[in-house]
């Protein structure tokens, strides 16, 4: 292979002269260096594009994280407000029960009324309120009872 290249240059040197061969070699060398420089430039461009894409992805991820933090903070605040409201409701219920207990013991008319049987529709409705819904697992909200017939339960149950 080297012999073939040498003979090619020997014949070329004979036709165009030594200066011509040197010029051709310089042109080939410059073209090779130019191509190598272009390849290196393309590699640098690719690295810069990858870096820019990574920087953009990082900025987007940071924005997403910041949004999630604000959502978490808002959720925590809403849950704290809900907890405070539930505690207030529980306290009002406790106070109402205390007042009812006092009425039972101090007022004869209220005590007599409380000893009467509860209408069947109302008793069933109250029981249904405490049963969880089969779809949601949450106790049913207050609604109009299905059975609106007044009268004592056939089992003779009385209000507790």
- pLDDT tens digits for 16-59? 677 777 787 888 888 888 888 888 888 888 889 999 999 999 99
pLDDT: is 143 or 36 the higher one? 36
Which pTM value belongs to this model?
Answer: 0.42
* 157 occurs within a structural domain: no
* 47 occurs within a structural domain: yes
Domain containing 48 equals 9-130
Q: What pLDDT, on a 0 to 100 scale, did the predictor assign at position 77?
A: 96
Which of 42-56, 94-108, 109-123, 144-158 shows the lowest per-residue confidence on average (mean pLDDT)?
Answer: 144-158
Determine the Cα–Cα distance for residues 97 and 101; give it in Å rounded to an integer: 6
* 100 occurs within a structural domain: yes
Which of 2-11, 54-63, 90-99 shows the lowest per-residue confidence on average (mean pLDDT)?
Answer: 2-11
* 53 occurs within a structural domain: yes
* 32 occurs within a structural domain: yes
Q: Count the domains in the chain.
A: 1
* 43 occurs within a structural domain: yes
């Amino acid at each position: 292979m080297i012999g073939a290249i040498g003979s090619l240059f020997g014949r070329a040197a004979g036709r165009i002269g030594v200066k011509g061969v040197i010029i051709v070699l310089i042109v080939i060398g410059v073209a090779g260096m130019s191509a190598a420089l272009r390849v290196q430039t393309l590699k640098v461009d690719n690295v810069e594009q990858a870096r820019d894409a990574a920087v953009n992805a990082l900025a987007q991820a940071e924005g997403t994280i910041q949004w999630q933090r604000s959502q978490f903070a808002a959720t925590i605040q809403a849950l704290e407000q809900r907890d405070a409201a539930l505690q207030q409701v529980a306290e009002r219920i406790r106070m109402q029960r205390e007042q009812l207990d006092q009425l039972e013991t101090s007022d004869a008319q209220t005590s007599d009324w409380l000893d009467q049987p509860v209408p069947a529709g109302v008793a069933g409705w109250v029981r249904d309120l405490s049963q969880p819904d089969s779809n949601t697992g949450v106790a049913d909200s207050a609604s109009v009872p299905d059975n609106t017939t007044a009268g004592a339960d056939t089992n003779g149950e009385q209000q507790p």
